[in-house]
Amino acid sequence: MSFANQIHIEQRVQAAGDKCAEYATLNGEESPDLMIEYGRALFDSAKASASLLEQENVDKKEMVLENPKVKIAGDDFEDASENEEEQSSGQNEDSVRNEGQDEEADANADDNEEANEGLEDDDFVNAFQIVDLARVLLSKQPETKERDEKIITCRLLLGDISLEDDNPPQAIEDYTEALNLTAKIFGIESKQYVQTAFMLSLAFESVDKLTEAKDVISKAVSSAKAIKSELANDLELKLKDLETELGVGSNKEEATQVTKESISGRTAVQNAVENIVSQANDISQFARKKRKVNK
């Protein structure tokens, strides 16, 4: 990630936090919507920081391996003859020195990782707490479809945060709640259900609960097939309607216009099918990538 992108993310965090504070000051209560956005910004910042810190640790380790330490102090200067003697004896100790450098590089990298883990954890914890508070506030509101959709958003975001923060059990809990509520609000034959099922399966797989992961994936596949089947039926109905219109056209100009509408309608339905397939492929690629990293 570039420095400019990092600055942009930090600015988003600052702006989102300011909006939350301003709203609370003016209204005497928190805004769940603004808190969700604040939590999302914090999550993005946490991921960016974790990525940068990881790269810094790799760079520092490589620097130690490629540039052996050289002591330069008042008593460390030696004449040429002493250097020649040390060079001959030093050649016999190269392997030992290199091993020591490797160990030192590993130790330094470990120290840096341990020192930075606290910072990363704080970022992820803050993001989780903000989003979870938004969820709690939403749960106290009257039950409506709009409210439940926002709770689903919270649950999914909480699951993403936990999965990224190596806390699969918490991710499983939130993804499961999101999946159950999604089935209630959108139905099991919806792209939202398929996408959430994929994420829940990924969380199960990350803790080697392969049976559970398989069960969830099976449900997702069934849902995806149902979605595509429904779209295919819509496509067939649309074509029949357009064929009927073509058959009753009063003149060539009218028939040509209906043909254009037929192409437009068919393309719209085909695009819907392609979007479903594309979204499923995107999730599959993410799942494979995450699984490879975990290994």
**pTM given for the model:** 0.65
pLDDT at 22: 96
CATH class of the domain whose range is 146-249+267-280: mainly alpha
Residue predicted with more confidence, 63 or 40: 40
Confidence of residue 78 (pLDDT cuts 50, 70, 90): very low
Confidence of residue 294 (pLDDT cuts 50, 70, 90): low
Measured CA to CA, the distance from residue 198 to residue 237 in angstroms comes to 31
Measured CA to CA, the distance from residue 221 to residue 227 in angstroms comes to 10
Check pLDDT > 90 for residue 225: no
Place of tokens 């398989």: 214
pLDDT at 53: 72
- Where b means 16+ CB within 10 Å and e means fewer, 63-93 reads ebeeeeeeeeeeeeeeeeeeeeeeeeeeeee
Measured CA to CA, the distance from residue 135 to residue 152 in angstroms comes to 9
Structure tokens at 235: 């496509």
Measured CA to CA, the distance from residue 10 to residue 22 in angstroms comes to 18
pLDDT at 69: 58
The tens digit of pLDDT for each residue in 11-46 reads 999 999 999 999 999 999 999 999 999 999 999 999
Judge contact between 264 and 242, C-beta under 8 A: no
Structure tokens at 46: 């946490």
Residue 227 CB partners (closer than 8 Å, separation 6+)? 189, 190, 191, 194, 276
Number of Cβ within 10 Å of residue 247's Cβ equals: 9
Measured CA to CA, the distance from residue 137 to residue 120 in angstroms comes to 26
Place of tokens 């990298």: 109
pLDDT at 214: 92
Helices and strands, number each (H, E), in the chain: 9, 0
| 120, amino acid identity | E
Mean pLDDT, residues 95-121? 52
Going from N- to C-terminal start, the domains of the chain cover: 1-54+121-141, 146-249+267-280
φ/ψ of 76, rounded to 5, equals -95, -5
Confidence of residue 80 (pLDDT cuts 50, 70, 90): very low
Measured CA to CA, the distance from residue 131 to residue 39 in angstroms comes to 5
The tens digit of pLDDT for each residue in 239-278 reads 777 778 777 654 545 544 443 444 444 455 445 445 544 5
pLDDT at 103: 56
Structure tokens at 132: 């979870």
